[in-house]
Amino acid sequence: MRPVYSDTGSATVWWVSLSLLLWFLTLAVAMTAAARLDRDRAATAADLAALAAADRAAHGTHMACGQARITAEANDASLITCDLTGHIVDVVVTVPSTVLDHQVHARARAGPVHKADPPEEEE
């Protein structure tokens, strides 16, 4: 008769445990990467929408925010707010998350690099 050891089959338990641990770590890394990509996608859409609105800021709020909305929608985002103060535009956009069932928000601001110099008087 063969002796029975108390650790018979323990290698199977260890391999299954290790496999599950590696599977969950891989899943966590993949979800984190997807969440970061969603955040970057939202930030890019907000930046582009703000730049597009700043380009049309001289034509008024309606024209600037309309261009921001078109640009946001071209990047699969929704324009939430668009505020024009002078020539500075603040926008907030959302994109749907690919990982969870929620929206990812991003904010951006765009405007002139420096204030325009007043026109010089000719003498």
Residue-wise pLDDT for 8-62, tens only, equals 678 888 999 999 999 999 999 999 999 999 999 999 999 999 999 999 998 999 9
Tokens 């709020």 locate to 61
Kind of pairing between the strands at 103-110 and 88-96: antiparallel
Confirm or reject CATH 3.30.1300 for domain 14-110, answering yes or no.
Answer: yes
Residue 106 is predicted with a pLDDT of: 97
Q: Per-residue pLDDT tens for 88-122? A: 999 999 999 998 889 999 999 998 876 655 556 66
